[in-house]
Structure 1
Amino acid sequence: MKNQIFLILCFLCAANLFAQEYQFTIFNASTNQPVENVQLFHEGKLITFSNREGVFIVPKQLVGTEVKLQKMGFETRSKVLNAENVNQILFLKPLAEVLSEVIVRSSSIPQTIQKAPASINIVNSADFSRTDATNILESFNNAPGIYVNQGALNTNKISIRGIGARSQYSTNRIQSYYDGIPIATAEGDLTLDDFDQESVERIEIIKGPTSSIYGAGLGGSINLFSKTFTKEKNQANVSSQFGSFNTYKQVIQASTSDENASFFATLSNLTSDGSRENGKYKRTSALVNGSIKSGTRGKFTYLANFTKLKAFIPSSLNEENFINNPEIADASWAASQGFESYDRGILGGSYSTFISDKISNTTSVFVSFRDGYEPRPFDILNENRISTGVRTRFNLHTKLFERPSEISFGGEYYKEWYEMGTFKNLYKDFPDQGSILGERLSSNEQDRNYSNFFAQINVDILEKWNLELGFNINTTQYGLIDLFVQDGVNQTGDYKFETILSPRIGTSYEISPGKNIYASVSQGFSTPNVAETLTPEGQINTNLEPETGTNYEMGFKGNWLDRNLYTEIAVFSIQIENLLVAKRVGEDQYVGINAGSTNHNGIEFLTNYRVQLSKVVEIKPYLSTALNFFKFDEFIDNDSDFSGKKLPGVPSYTVNVGIDLATNNGFEFFGNFRSIGEMQLNDANTGTTDSYQLLNFKAAYSFTVFENLKFNIYSGINNALDKQYAASIVTNATGFGGNAPRYYYPGNPRNYYGGLQVNYLF
């Protein structure tokens, strides 16, 4: 009998032992929702999946060992399973590129995209993966409302909702910052193609006037953020890419980080012969950034960037050459072997601290320089610029009328010294030798001063209803000293614009979980640059006024299908007064005039979808489109009345459709189709470009050779259909000496690329 009782007790103990299950539940760290199909690996072997409730059960022998949790769209997590509780909860952090809950870091008061009462687009590593690595701006075209004119690797022009389209050869009317440090000039000129996508974690684009945050920026703001680091991670990366037109790019990167500091450095070199004559390009750049903790409440971040560029300029073509000989350069630019060269650098630092539990401050200081030399057929330009400034912002958490609120306020001061001189180009006197420096034609010094005071308040009126109020006060002034008296014209003078107040109001309401509607009204401005203020006689035109605009916008942002489908739609109307127009007074020479007003009305739509085809294959189709109805309201230029005409330089529509495919074994495929509508060539609307379609493909394969050594091999094809199209145009081009106007920059024909990336984790 005793033996029978002993056997029964042993059986019951064994049954209880084997019945004991170690259950783990996986939740989304952002939404607190269970996550299905999370893979659990142990020593490289797949053990189990989580079910629909996010639950998986592991064998007892795995308790106390390290496992890896992995699911596409989430950060991979390593975890030592413990036996403290039979039921345990684990969290996985979603990748930023798939989250509508991304925190907007460029706003004065951080908030999610979902709740922000503004149209904001994120360009991140997922967007960079779809393209080659030669031009960071290529990824911008997937954002609705943004169009990039790409005449060459060094001739890029960004327009946001049609603002900036009238710039001739560069980007203006848009503010831009890298980790809070200004990278646009005091005049608003911007060169983003100096930066490599390998050194950028993500880019936030706020569309429409952002004066209440960043001052002068009628079109919006573009904010670049450097790579961030996980704790105690050291790695090195080497990549090499080659492509058509003898294009080569090499990148070397190294980073290290621990709990108290991080350091990241990248060195890149990009060369290309270009698809056209006189199109050689060479750029070498280096970037260093990092952070250092200061006690428990402070952190210092730093940035240093240097770029050395020499890029020859094929310039624009007339219609006949654009159609029949798109590979040639303009005759005068080819004969003079015109090019652009410069050394450019930025050095800055920011200190962030919590003054108390409710008050924080971030202060940034910076200095930048640019030393440029540009031989052109009509003259040779030599210029030097040094800029310095400081920006500070305070954030206060408080209550207003017993409702949770946050107040942000601060100021910015920007000082710039600019020297420029022009010389005769004697290339015609010395055939086949390119540009030859001749006698001096001009010598000027400019001082530019720019200051802002800004404030913003966010109030949670109700749990689901948020109100945002803000304003900016700006003063801008500059002085011009003419050092060249031989020509008998004295351009010396000072000019100060009247103080400009730019208010903003926005509101967002959650109509149901994951679905928000918003509305906003904001004002913005852009001041004329010094070149625009000079008359054809070389005098300062003190009658010029800043461009001002008011943006009216309504929109919807929503998640569907268990947050796998995200959509945005925005309807906007921007009314611009005192439109600054580049009036042509000579070959490739312009002056500015206030010529009237424009209406920028449009609709933008964006959607992203995630589909889990199987446990190992996921696809992400996406679509973005913009319909543009941009017209002159009142516009009289001399005796010509262009009122009611369409705005030139802006496509009537843009459509981007694509699909990303990823597998757990490391294979990825990217396909993109882009359709661009016709563009008006001039204010009179007497000519248009043809609409065009581009098809691009890319495939990549990542694999691990050793535990810490990872390879990525990729190849792609751009313009697979070999379409002939105008990648950029010069609006209102005028022919001189009986020549036809040169409107067109031809886009690249079909071209190929491939590359290898090697990553080693220490």
Structure 2
Amino acid sequence: MKKLILLFLILTCNKLFAQKFTGTVLNNKTGVAIEKVTVKNLLTGEIEYTNENGEFGFDSVQFPLELEFRLSGYLQASLKFEEDQKELKIYLQQEIDQLSEVLIRSSNIPQEIRKIPASVSLISENDLKRNDNFNLVQNFNYVPGVFVSQGALNTNKINIRGIGARSQYSTNRIKAYINGIPLTTAEGELTLDDFDPEYLDRIEIFKGPVSSVFGAGLGGSINLFTERNLRDQRSVIAEFNYGSFNTRKTRANLKYVKDSLDISINYNQVQSDGYRQNGEYDRVSVLGSAGLLNKSGNYWSFFFSYTNLKAYIPSSLSEEDFRNDPEKAAFTWNQAAGYESYDKNIFGISYEHNFSSDLKNQTSVFYNARDGYEPRPFDILDENRSSVGTRTKFNYKTSIFEKSSELSFGAETMFEFYETGTFENLYEKVEERKSIQGDRLSLNEQNRNYINVFAQMNMELTSRLLLEAGLNFNSTAYDLEDRFNSGTNDQSGDYSFDPVLSPRLGLSYEAFQGKNFYASASHGFSTPTVAETLTPEGLINTDLKTETGWNYEIGFKGNWLNNKLYTELNLYSIQIRNLLVARRVGQDQYVGVNAGKADHNGIEFTSAYQTRVSESLQLKLFLNSNFNFFEFDKFVDQGENYSGNTIPGVPEHMVSPGVEIGLKEFTANVNFQAFGKMALNDDNSGYTDPYELLNLKLNYNWDISQSLDLEFNFGINNILNEQYAASIVTNAVGFGGSAPRYYYPGNPRNYFGGLSFDFDF
């Protein structure tokens, strides 16, 4: 009897202290469930495996409990639990981040980068840490096929495969988004300098005409994403960086993640005296994002950005000043203390709704506003722009002809309201160095609207062959009201461009495991800006046509050495018709001309190698390059025949190798860039010199405690102290007998360093 009572008590105690324990294993970067993870109870030796949803469970455990998680390609993890955990989530870190397996989010149908029949480059969060953190767009110069002309912190011009290189002072012909919210204005202008690179999680760049997906963007599309936090977290980051030319950056970041709520707010200020005269820079930015996952599995997200900028402009130099006195500013810009200033706001709300496991919708509404003021030697520009719009996209998984397929369709529309005016600049009438506003010279109001309707289908023709087809319809119109001139000079009116259909077709074939060949043909277009449509007499040129182009491309994407090495090679030819060129007719007046045809042919190569040499030593290597053969096919302007000439403003080649060594808490980045010569003008009468840049950055991370981390960084840019043209003004014209000012000098050897605190509370 006593034995029975004792046995009963033992069984009862086991039931009291032993219970079922469950959890889910996820990828720490993507949040995707991980299947077939080995989960071992280190106390009993019992083993379970995660299912296709990443779930595991033990029927009976005792506390304290210690579990071990193992899967090839992921770092082993051991965790100890003192009590049961509700809705437990375990995040495993990949041993090596596989570039080929990254899911491209900006495509209408998200897909692994290796399987997309298009050239898409990724700038990861880690890539953004390889340089100083003062300017976002400098990171783009490591991407094959992309070149950023950097006149100053606020004077940057991006071109993709040579498209946009002929823009005078800003980026155009490229679409850009942040978290799916458009950043490009309705007439095609783009500024990315405002965004803090440390707030971004990744950047995806589609190269070449891809209007079937993104609309009016002949050069391609740049897609920024902020981090979507997955784990419960409360942290504060405080950071200060200092560099040459009295450049400093102050940053503070707050994160709060709890259950289904994710909030992040980022403040940063960048100030600099600049390398050149009249080069002072001061920018304050506040960015915020929030996400909420409701009980039905639908997701709300919110984004906002505020920027206040005042940046002086040293402008371009003649060749003599560039070589002998690169620190000086252009004389008139220095005398007028020319600068640009603006306040910019961006707001966006998105909602992702799952109607079923096969049908999903994402809808966004957004608002973008900019109030700018820019004193120049020839006048003072005062402008105000605001836009509202919406974008909706449906994704539907189905079977077509018994083949697994996915359809995506939707629309994007934007309404933009733009007021611009100019005033006399009376800086020459005062002795001190400053601009003074005089009488009004012009006042125009413009309303522009567009609508894109798009559709895409992906179909698995076989287990190895993927078909991708897309189509975009665009309609763009605007009205212009001249509120200053009257009579024959009044350019008021309603105008529109012919509707454009942009198709795309691509095939991707997995010839061997992890190795894909692809071929694609895609169409793109860019509508002229209002400034480009004006004639020298100030009238609208109604004969100006939309610039269009076809991109033909073949390529290879593949993994090697047990997925440690990823390589990508592509050859492309972009045939541009109704080539739109800006002809300078005054100090601040350009007119657009459809001058002919251009051929942009090129070769691009990407490679990334990553390996863990030992438990504490990790090695990463990359080699990126492109070789450009960009020529005018048929180009006659004002009686001059430039057919066969090299298109100016683009280096003939770029070769960039780099190495990153990680040893426990220490990381060293060394990267090199070699750029070929650039033609200065359409007649190819002058070229820049080729140049090489060698950069170094060192990081040390010190875990003081479980809740406090310190990070130190130090770096050197342009170690070789190369004198080079970081940007040029194509087809510059000298006025009043002066030499043309083509050149923006790059910074000489310069240094930077910083300290950051990361506190979890």
TM-score, L = length of structure 2: 0.90
CA distance in 2, matches of 1:416, 1:474: 16
Shift of 1:356: 2.0
Contact 2:334/2:433 (8 A) holds in 1:
no
Which digits, 9 at most, give the CA deviation of each residue in 1:675-722, with x for residues without a partner?
000000000000000000000001010011111100100000000010
Match of 1:689 in 2: 688
Q: Does the C-alpha gap of structure 1 residues 702 and 479 become closer, same or farther in structure 2, counting only changes over 3 Å?
A: same
1:129 aligns with 2:150: no
Shift of 1:297: 3.1
Match of 2:727 in 1: 728
Contact 2:715/2:752 (8 A) holds in 1:
yes
Q: Does the C-alpha gap of structure 1 residues 198 and 590 become closer, same or farther in structure 2, counting only changes over 3 Å?
A: same
Contact 1:468/1:506 (8 A) holds in 2:
yes
CA distance in 1, matches of 2:74, 2:329: 48
Contact 1:387/1:416 (8 A) holds in 2:
yes
Match of 1:700 in 2: 699
Match of 2:642 in 1: 642
Contact 1:700/1:714 (8 A) holds in 2:
yes
Match of 2:754 in 1: 755
Q: Say which SS state the counterpart of residue 579 (structure 1) adopts.
A: strand
Alignment map for 1:134-533 (pairs within 5 Å): 134-485=134-485, 489-533=489-533
Aligned residue type for 1:732: N
Q: Say which SS state the counterpart of residue 184 (structure 1) adopts.
A: coil
Shift of 1:357: 2.3
CA distance in 1, matches of 2:660, 2:33: 24
Match of 1:673 in 2: 672
Give structure 2 stretches of 5+ with no counterpart. 1-24, 44-60, 83-89
Q: Say which SS state the counterpart of residue 428 (structure 1) adopts.
A: helix
CA distance in 2, matches of 1:310, 1:101: 42
Contact 1:203/1:224 (8 A) holds in 2:
yes
Q: Say which SS state the counterpart of residue 484 (structure 2) adopts.
A: coil
Aligned residue type for 2:468: E
CA distance in 1, matches of 2:487, 2:441: 8
Alignment map for 1:55-134 (pairs within 5 Å): 65-66=65-66, 77=77, 79-80=79-80, 92-94=92-94, 98-134=98-134
Match of 1:743 in 2: 742
Aligned residue type for 1:593: V
Shift of 1:63: 9.7
Contact 2:27/2:94 (8 A) holds in 1:
no
Q: Does the C-alpha gap of structure 1 residues 454 and 95 become closer, same or farther in structure 2, counting only changes over 3 Å?
A: farther
Q: Does the C-alpha gap of structure 1 residues 91 and 539 become closer, same or farther in structure 2, counting only changes over 3 Å?
A: closer
Match of 1:576 in 2: 576
CA distance in 2, matches of 1:240, 1:527: 42
Aligned residue type for 2:551: N
CA distance in 1, matches of 2:713, 2:529: 43
Q: Does the C-alpha gap of structure 1 residues 41 and 439 become closer, same or farther in structure 2, counting only changes over 3 Å?
A: farther
Shift of 1:35: 11
CA distance in 2, matches of 1:185, 1:202: 22
Which digits, 9 at most, give the CA deviation of each residue in 1:592-623, with x for residues without a partner?
11111100000000111123333311111110
Contact 2:533/2:540 (8 A) holds in 1:
yes
Q: Say which SS state the counterpart of residue 720 (structure 2) adopts.
A: coil
Match of 2:623 in 1: 623
Contact 1:519/1:554 (8 A) holds in 2:
yes
Q: Say which SS state the counterpart of residue 536 (structure 1) adopts.
A: coil
Contact 1:73/1:98 (8 A) holds in 2:
no
Q: Does the C-alpha gap of structure 1 residues 760 and 551 become closer, same or farther in structure 2, counting only changes over 3 Å?
A: same
CA distance in 2, matches of 1:31, 1:516: 25
CA distance in 2, matches of 1:392, 1:66: 47
CA distance in 1, matches of 2:131, 2:182: 26
CA distance in 1, matches of 2:387, 2:348: 11
Which digits, 9 at most, give the CA deviation of each residue in 1:257-301, with x for residues without a partner?
122111000010000000000000000000111111233131110
Aligned residue type for 2:229: F
Give structure 1 stretches of 5+ with no counterpart. 1-24, 43-60, 83-89
Match of 1:50 in 2: none
Q: Does the C-alpha gap of structure 1 residues 41 and 752 become closer, same or farther in structure 2, counting only changes over 3 Å?
A: farther
Q: Say which SS state the counterpart of residue 139 (structure 1) adopts.
A: helix
Q: Does the C-alpha gap of structure 1 residues 409 and 96 become closer, same or farther in structure 2, counting only changes over 3 Å?
A: farther
Q: Say which SS state the counterpart of residue 118 (structure 1) adopts.
A: coil
Shift of 1:31: 12
Contact 2:26/2:34 (8 A) holds in 1:
no
Q: Does the C-alpha gap of structure 1 residues 160 and 31 become closer, same or farther in structure 2, counting only changes over 3 Å?
A: farther
Shift of 1:68: 8.2
CA distance in 2, matches of 1:138, 1:33: 39
Alignment map for 1:513-592 (pairs within 5 Å): 513-592=513-592
Q: Does the C-alpha gap of structure 1 residues 520 and 62 become closer, same or farther in structure 2, counting only changes over 3 Å?
A: farther
Contact 1:304/1:346 (8 A) holds in 2:
yes
TM-score, L = length of structure 1: 0.90
Which digits, 9 at most, give the CA deviation of each residue in 1:289-320, with x for residues without a partner?
11112331311100110000000000000000
Q: Does the C-alpha gap of structure 1 residues 587 and 502 become closer, same or farther in structure 2, counting only changes over 3 Å?
A: same
Alignment map for 1:45-64 (pairs within 5 Å): none
Match of 2:49 in 1: none
Q: Say which SS state the counterpart of residue 606 (structure 1) adopts.
A: strand
CA distance in 2, matches of 1:393, 1:73: 34
CA distance in 2, matches of 1:251, 1:103: 30
Contact 1:27/1:34 (8 A) holds in 2:
no
Runs of 4+ in structure 1 off by over 4 angstroms are: 25-36, 61-78
Shift of 1:443: 0.3
Aligned residue type for 1:751: N
Aligned residue type for 2:700: Y
Shift of 1:142: 1.3
Aligned residue type for 2:619: I
Q: Does the C-alpha gap of structure 1 residues 65 and 35 become closer, same or farther in structure 2, counting only changes over 3 Å?
A: closer
Name the Cα RMSD after superposition.
2.7
Aligned residue type for 1:678: K
Q: Does the C-alpha gap of structure 1 residues 384 and 562 become closer, same or farther in structure 2, counting only changes over 3 Å?
A: same
Which digits, 9 at most, give the CA deviation of each residue in 1:491-546, with x for residues without a partner?
11221011100000001010111100111000000000001001111001000001
Shift of 1:355: 1.3
CA distance in 1, matches of 2:582, 2:238: 44
Aligned residue type for 1:668: T
Contact 1:26/1:35 (8 A) holds in 2:
no
CA distance in 2, matches of 1:557, 1:183: 30
CA distance in 1, matches of 2:235, 2:360: 32
Q: Say which SS state the counterpart of residue 682 (structure 1) adopts.
A: coil
Q: Does the C-alpha gap of structure 1 residues 35 and 684 become closer, same or farther in structure 2, counting only changes over 3 Å?
A: farther
Q: Does the C-alpha gap of structure 1 residues 157 and 96 become closer, same or farther in structure 2, counting only changes over 3 Å?
A: farther
CA distance in 2, matches of 1:124, 1:96: 13
Identity in percent = 51
Contact 2:36/2:71 (8 A) holds in 1:
no
Aligned residue type for 1:172: N
Contact 1:585/1:591 (8 A) holds in 2:
yes
Contact 1:27/1:35 (8 A) holds in 2:
no
Q: Does the C-alpha gap of structure 1 residues 427 and 97 become closer, same or farther in structure 2, counting only changes over 3 Å?
A: farther
Contact 2:96/2:611 (8 A) holds in 1:
no
